[in-house]
Amino acid sequence: MICICISIQLLNAQDLHVTNYNFAKPYFNPAEVGSFSGTIRLGGIYREQFSNFIHKPYQTVLFYMDSPVSNGLRPSHWIGSGLQLSLDRAGDLVVQNIGIMGSLSYHIGLDTKYKNVIALGFQFGNIQRSVNPNRAVFQDQFEGSLGASKDLHFIQDYKDNYQDYNVGLKFTHKLSSYSNFDAGLAVLHLAQPNIRFKDGQIDNPIYRRINLNASYGIDLSDEMSLTPVLYFSKYSNAYNTSVQLLWNYRFFEKSDKKQKIKIPKDYQISLGVGYRIQDAIQFIVGGIYKQWKFGFAYDMTVSSASQFDNYYGAYEVGISRILSYPKKPKVVSKFYCPRF
């Protein structure tokens, strides 16, 4: 029954988890949908964890697309919409989640210069969970039992679906021309769906997950900026808290030596370090080239789990791009009667 207990825990606890929040914002908080300047944002992130000591490591894949699609009730309001696809799998049992979620958000500019913006987001969709025990080894097989394990029927051909709903709130405040602050709160699995295990004999509740985030960005100069960041998640009795410090460098070229006008180049670089409390030290490297944003993150385990993974926790690769298509101006045709 050891394998059954492990599988139930994985089904109960598994949820998407990343280090580089910048490439998973619409998942972490639905209010982030449509919160950018441009026409369409495309992005994704891949994470692999515990690959050096688990045959089938934890793997997370997330793709998303969102856009500020329409004006709101007032000129300083706008509506965002988006779509995200996720795949999360873990362990020799291949406990797998496949999700597709749609998102809507409403952004309220409290002033005409958008120095203060409040956003509300709602997310809805379907999650499918399944187990593939073909490579699993059960306790009675270790003890020399012949034939199929008697525990196998508990999880064989397990598959279930549930509807999921998430809500989010975000506040952005531009403190000055060189600093800004934003904070967010989201509640995932709002309805706390319940999926069945072992032909409905075991309940597997999906508890609410609470996400909090806050960041303060400040320009130290035209080239450099610093952004301290805080992330917090709570799922049932599990807590996840990360603090990060991100450094960004912008490149310029001078077009006029006398006027010393700086023209920004098409690329930037960023470095970051963080700490997930009682778990891992985080290292983040990223860059921007034109409208493309790239990121790489590495988690170095510093908890007691380091004796199993030799300090190698996880790595992530993220990419996103913002596409901008300016609207064509409407030209009113005028016809003049010719003079004879």
pLDDT digits (tens, 9 = 90+) for 46-55: 999 877 777 6
Tens digit of each residue's pLDDT (9 = 90 or more) over 123-161: 999 999 887 766 665 555 555 555 555 555 556 666 778
| Res. 45: pLDDT tops 90 | yes
Query: Going by C-beta distance under 8 Å and a sequence separation of 6 or more, which residues neighbour residue 119?
Result: 31, 32, 34, 35, 80, 105, 106, 107, 108, 168, 169, 170, 171, 172
Euclidean distance between CA atoms 59 and 314, whole angstroms: 10
pLDDT of 55-99, one tens digit each? 677 899 999 999 999 999 999 999 999 999 999 987 666 678 899
Q: HSE-up of 320 (CA within 13 Å, CB side)?
A: 26
Distance CA 63, CA 65 (A): 7
Per residue in 200-257, pLDDT (tens digit) is 556 678 899 999 999 999 999 999 999 999 999 999 888 999 999 999 999 988 766 6
User: What domains can be seen in the chain, in order of their start residue?
Assistant: 2-323 (2.40.160.40)
d(C-alpha 105, C-alpha 323), whole Å: 19
Q: How far apart are CA 159 and CA 150, in angstroms?
A: 19
Helices (H), the chain: 2-13, 25-28, 139-142, 152-155, 306-309
In whole angstroms, what is the distance from residue 88 CA to residue 100 CA?
12
